[in-house]
Each structure stands twice: as C-alpha cells, then as structure tokens.
Structure 1
C-alpha cells in the first residue's frame, strides 16, 4: 500500500470515527435535552391551567354530566382535571381525556389506544391537573431537530475529508517530485538532487541521498582510477619481460644472463602487482584478517624499514613509539610501505618519515597517529602513484583513517596518513 493511500485510510478513518463519536454524543445529549424540554412544557402547561383555575374557580362548578374543555387544534395533546375523589371535573374530548384518570403526581408514561403518551400530573387545592403529550409527536420533533443537525454535520464531515485528501496530496507533492526526478534520471547522473520548496522533514532524506550519490561518485572514480592504474602496472612489467626475453634470444653469455635477470625482475614486479591486486580486492570485499585488530607503531616502522636494504635515503622521526593504532599490522605496514616506496621512486633526494600523535584530550579531533612521508621532489604527478595509493585509500576508508597530500617547499609531496589510536 502506498504512503498516500495509507495516510488517507488511517487519517480518514480516525477523522471519521472522531466525528461520528462526537455526533453520537451530541445526538444523545440533544435527545435528552429535547425530552427534558418537552417535559418542562408539560409541567408548564399544568401550572398554567392551575393558575387559571386559582383565578377562576367557578370553571370547576358545572352540572354537566359530560364535562368538556374545547378540544385543542393539535391531536397530540390532552388534559384532565379531576377531584381527589376521582370525579373528572374537566377534560378534553374522546378517549384521550378519559384515559388520563388514576395518574399519579409527577411524570409517567402510558399506552392510550395503542399509542404511547407522556403524562404530567400536578396536585393543587384538592384537584389533580394532568397534561399529556403523544410520544409520536415528540419523535417527529426530535427527528426534525436531528435532521437539522445531521445535514450540516454530514456536509462538514465530507468537507473535512475533502480538505484532508487535498492536504495529503499537497503535502506529498515534494515526495512525488523526488520520485519523478529519480525515476527519470540517467543511471550515470550522480549530480545532487535538488527539490524546490522541500519541507524540513524531506531535507534529511535528500541530504542522505545526495551523500549516497557523492559516495557512489567517489567509488566510481576510485574504480576507474584503479582500472587505469592496474592496466598501467601490468603493462610495464609485461612489456619489460617481453623485451628482455627477445634480447636473450639474440645474445649469448653475459648479455643473455643479464637479460634473463632483468626478465626475472619483471616477473617479481608482476608478482608484486598481482599480490597488491588481490589485497585490494580483499579489502574492497571486506575481507577478515585473523591477526589482532591493533598494531604497535614501533612494529609497523620496523617491519616497513626491513623491506628496504638501502636506508641511507630514509630519515625516521618516531614521536609515538609506544602507541597502538586500530589497524591490523599487515594492512598498516602495506599502507605505509606503499607511501614510502612511491616517495623513494619519485624523489631524487632523501625522504623523511615523521610519526607523531594528533588530536585527543582538549581538542575536537579524535586521537590519531599521523605518518608524514615527505619526498624531495620528482617529475611524476601525485596522482600517478598507482595501485599503492589505491590500497592506502582502501585501508583508510575501512578503518576510519584519512590520507592527505600537499606540495612542500622542496618541490616534492607531503603524504599524511592518519590512523585512529587504540586506547
């Protein structure tokens, strides 16, 4: 069921039940008030007759064996005046008047000629004055009052439901515009969504959606860069291997051995590229490393430096030797080693590795360890670091770190790898 239909059903049902409950309470209250008003009219009529008798007591003196009052215009009322002895002094004509005898003081109900009547009897100065209303007349009056109430009430209910439908339609129109824009959008279009006059409740949805588009765009860009880097990394050693093997076939002795040795280096390089691709694929797929989820900075530096036989071009400053980062040792070593390899590859002079603690207590930043890898300048642009940079970005993305680059005063690049501290 759509959101629009669900809102219409739920709010319409609640609205209708509320109005019907109010209408029922109004009907019961009105019915009670009408009955009270008509009873008060009966009592007033009896009191009026009593007042007339008290002013003209000769009205009760008659020798007529069939005492009568002029029959009223309405057939739904009756009246009787009788003495305490039971003698009827005055009454309306017909069975209606005769049937009012023996009624007790106060209000009561009685069946007369198969019809229900409402009676009121007043005792005053030794006489009983009884007035009566036919209940069918009361029912017609109540139905008329109810009809007058129900018609505008029903119109108001229908109007309210119409206004509710219009309000839901208008309120969900921005959501419909968002649906239309996303449905008509090209799959390659990752531009932010812009909904004019969007309500505040829809703003978090649009913001989250635009954030998703931005992450997808970065992922697509990273995948494209990865594809380009992988093609370049594979093409270089394969071309070198092919060239050296061709040379080896054409020469002998020392030159042949040198060509084969160079071809072997190309195979080693190709093996390294393959291993990096496998590690990057494992990172992208959320692979699990069985080792401890934290590593000591001293162990990271020691393992990285062990891979470089010539350390004369490396200068290390470790100001956080005893700290731990929330990254497995293997991944932390791979990330830092790739940065150092690239710095040495694209630097003509010495490279520096500076480790220091950043953020923490008293600052708004979370505690981190900063690995600064600085080279002294090279001819390659920063974006040409290939698969190594892709692996570093994958590690930082997975473990909440960051990687930033900036040009330094020597013409080289400063690569700052930040990893979260553990504890």
Structure 2
C-alpha cells in the first residue's frame, strides 16, 4: 500500500508535484508566448494585405480598378476598405462592415464597429487611405484552439512523465525489494553476510550495518544458548546432591543428619557460586558498549577484591602478600574499566584461595614494563598447580581438570582480557603452585599523578 509514510509514495508524490508545477508553469509561459507570436504574425498579415492593396493602386492596373461600394477584394478572410482622407468610403471588400474602419492615424488599433471588435491597420497613400481589418472574435477562437491543443499535449506529456516516474522509482527501489526478500528468508543463525543487491551501491552502508546487527544478534543468541547449556550442566549435579543430602537428613537423626544438612549447605554455596560465575560471564560477553566508568587506581581495585575474599582467606588461614616493583604502579589507573577489572582480578584471586593449602601463602605482584607503559598483575599460589597440557586447556569454558571448581573462572578472565586488549598467561610458580599473569601492553597514567 502506497501512502505518505511509504518511501515509494513520498518519491512519487514529490516528483509528481514537482513535474505538475513545472508543466503548469511551462504551459502558462508557452501559451503567452504563442499568443504574442500569433498576434504579431496576424498583425503582419494585416499590414501586408493593406500594403498589397496600396501597391495595386499604384500599379499600372490601378487605372482599370473600379472602386465600387461593395466591391469584393481577393484578400482571404481579411476585410479591406479604401477611403478618402475626408473619411468617404470609396470601396470595401466582402464581409467588411458598412461603418468606416479607418483609424484617424496610420498604424494598428482596435475599432468597435456594429457591436464587434476589429483589429485594424491603416496606411495612407496620397489622397487615399487603405484599411485592412480582422474580427477579434476570430482571433480569440483561434487562440482557444491553440490553448486546447497545448493543454491536451501538456496533459498527455504530464501523464507520460508520471508513468515514467512510476517506472523509474520502481526500478530504483528494486534493490530494496531484493534486500527485503533476502532478510525475510534469513534465519538468525545464518552466518553468511548479506550482500549488496545489484544496482544498489548506495545501500552498502545500510547492508554493513545490518550485517553488524545480525552478527550481534547471532552472538547474543549463541551466548544465551551457551548460558542455558552451562546452567543445565552446572545445576544438575548440585541440585542432585542437595536433594540426596536432604533425603538423608530426613531419614536419619543426630550427627549423620547434621552432616547431611552441612553437605546440603555446601552444595547450596557451590550452586550459588556457579550461578554467579555463569551470570558474570554472560554479562561480560553481552556488554557490547558499557557506560564509561570513572578510572580507579589499580592498587585500590586489588585492595577491594582482597577485602571481599578476606573471609575465605581467614577460614584457610592464608597469608596474602601485595607488593609492586614500583609504588607508582599501584597508583596507576586500571588499564580497563573497574567493572571488568574487578571480575578478572576476583576470579584469579578466588581461584588461588580455593586451591591454596591451609596456612599457605598467596603472592600478588604488580609489575611495570620496560617502557614504563606496560603493566602486569601476577598471582602465585602454593596449590597443586597444573601440568603443561592442563595449562593449555585451563582457559576453556567448562574444563575442570578433576578439581572442585566450576571450570568457568579462568574462562571468564580470558574473555575479559581479550575484551580489554590484555593477555593471560599460566605458568608454574617457584613454590610449585600456579602463577597467573594478567598483562596489558599499555595503560593510562597513574591516577592522580602529576
């Protein structure tokens, strides 16, 4: 349906109005121009007729010319009158009125004779005055016929122009129809990008935007599917354990029931932790454009995360050492947004706390690069560590390595580092545990530095 809200409708309306106004102006101008030119031609015919009679009067045949009251002159549609300077009519052609047509002075003019308007031309020759005249009604009828022909011609031309515009707009919008059909057949999961329709080079920016949007939609759908799969996988075991332990607690009493309830509580905590990790990963992956957060010093971020993990560290009687090769490194602004940085640091430190033995030590060190711009955060624990082949797989989503983790913490860190332009490296620590290094090749200036 074509309406004002339709692109095709607006194009046709605008071009139709423009052509109509143009043709109307052209018709008015052309009618006026034709009218003036025809009037000049007819006036020239009047003058030529009068001068022809004068030439006949001056020729040798003039002696044989008998001027009669109602004599007919062969002037073809033009009335002619010959009179004396005193106004006495000597001869007139057929169709000429009985009253005199001659003007007081030579030249063109209009005369009202017997209720009709005449266009008159008068020229004097000695004692004679020759007048040629034409009824204005004839001229008006002729101009009406000319105007009608112009109107019909211009109307047909306008209709032909509108039909041509209709066809041209349809041809011009054909690439949009092709693109619409392509989109209507497309599924969100299709990975092939949209192509620019033939003849639609101007649509290339829009096609690029659509491809970008479709890619984001496809990625969002895949993230939702992965999140659903992860939730189904991660929740199945804790829920089964909770149900089993609660059944044991219901069927037993005393110490065994208390132990079952304690195990159920631990399963609930693991379940909550799994959900936190999965939701954190989903939020991080789905953050296409985050609101710009105010910068925060790297040392303050580390202190905040360590304070959050303090209860777990105290429970295992762990000692955490935080140092830097340069005190200014701790005052430098975090190389990424505080939200993403907090997720990455918390997951690395939480992983170190979980795998550290009771009474162990965790080392956190901030290191500056050789050029003073690079910055890295290294976390070492005294846990069992990982073999080289295990370290190669530890960043994969869902890989547990036989431990008690969820297989998501380091995967989240790897995703955050990729998003913030950093890298993550897993190495064997000197203490036998695992060393995790988060490195950014460049970082902002120190927060609050001079």
SS in 2 for 1:384: coil
2:420 alignment partner in structure 1? 402
Q: Which residue of 2 aligns with 1:169?
A: 170
What root-mean-square deviation, in Å, do the aligned CA atoms of Structure 1 and Structure 2 show?
4.9
Once the two structures are TM-superposed, the CA of residue 213 in structure 1 deviates from its matched residue by 0.7
**TM alignment of 1:6-17, pairs within 5 A:** 6-17=10-21
CA distance in 1, matches of 2:356, 2:91: 131
What is the match of residue 323 of structure 1? 332
Aligned-partner Cα distance in 1 for 2:118–2:443:
92
Aligned residue runs from structure 1 range 222-241, under 5 A:
222-238=223-239
Partner of residue 180, structure 1: 181
Moved more, 28-37 or 231-240: 231-240
For residues 136-285 of structure 1, the aligned pairs below 5 Å read: 136-146=137-147, 149-150=150-151, 152-186=153-187, 188-189=189-190, 191-238=192-239, 264-276=265-277
Residue 431 of structure 2 is matched in structure 1 by: none
Separation in 2, partners of 1:407, 1:373:
11
Query: Which residue of structure 1 aligns with residue 345 of structure 2?
Result: 336
Aligned partner of residue 382 in structure 1, secondary structure: coil
1:265 is displaced (CA, Å) by 4.0
| Aligned equivalent of 2:74 | 72
Separation in 1, partners of 2:413, 2:397? 14
- SS, match of residue 195 in structure 2: coil
Q: CA deviation at 1:382?
A: 2.2
Residue 370 of structure 1 contacts residue 419 of structure 1 at CA under 8 Å; is this kept in 2? Answer: no
Q: Paired residue for 1:362?
A: none
| Residues 78, 97 of structure 1: 8 Å contact kept | no
CA contact (8 A) 2:89 2:100 kept: no
Distance 1:226 1:161 in 2: 57
Any gaps of 5 or more consecutive residues in structure 1?
A: 360-366
Aligned to 2:83: 82
Residues 1:266 and 1:26: Cα distance change in structure 2 (over 3 Å): same
How many Å separate the matches in 2 of 1:12 and 1:126? 64
Alpha-carbon separation, structure 2, partners of 1:113 and 1:193? 83
Cα distance per residue 1:371-414 (max 9 Å; x no partner): 688997536442326554787699899xxx53666777879987
Distance 1:71 1:57, change over 3 A: closer
C-alpha deviation, 1:167, in angstroms: 1.0
Q: Superposition pairs for residues 73-112 of structure 1, below 5 Å? A: 74=76, 76-93=77-94, 95-96=96-97, 98-101=99-102, 103-112=104-113
Cα 1:416–1:118, aligned 2, differ >3 Å: closer, same or farther? Answer: farther
Corresponding residue for 2:397? 384
CA distance in 2, matches of 1:368, 1:79: 110
- 1:53 matches 2:66: no
* Alpha-carbon offset, residue 53 of structure 1: 3.1
* Residues 78-126 of structure 1: CA deviation (Å, up to 9, x unaligned): 1112222112233224552644145543222234444332111223434
Given that 1:343 and 1:351 are in contact with CA atoms closer than 8 Å, whether structure 2 keeps it comes out as no
Give the Cα separation in 2 of the matches to 1:368 and 1:162.
68
Q: Does the C-alpha gap of structure 1 residues 279 and 412 become closer, same or farther in structure 2, counting only changes over 3 Å? A: closer
Q: Alpha-carbon deviation of 1:218?
A: 1.1
Q: Deviation at 1:17?
A: 2.0
Is the 1:60–1:90 contact (alpha carbons within 8 Å) kept by the matching residues of 2?
no
Does 1:21 pair with 2:25? Answer: yes
Pick closer, same or farther for the CA change 1:80–1:60 going to 2, 3 Å. farther
Q: Give secondary structure in 2 for the equivalent of 1:196.
A: coil
> Deviations along 1:191-246, whole A, 9 cap, x unmatched?
42234315122112211111111001111122222223333443454455567778
Q: Give the distance between the partners of 1:373 and 1:160, measured in 2 at CA.
A: 77
CA distance in 2 between partners of 1:406 and 1:396 (Å): 7
For structure 2, the residue ranges without an aligned partner over 5 or more in a row are 399-406, 429-433
Cα shift at 1:369: 7.5
What is the deviation of 1:131?
A: 0.9
Q: How many residues align?
A: 405
* Equivalent residues of 1:77, 1:133 under 8 A apart: yes
| CA–CA separation in structure 2 for the residues paired with 1:217 and 1:338 | 28
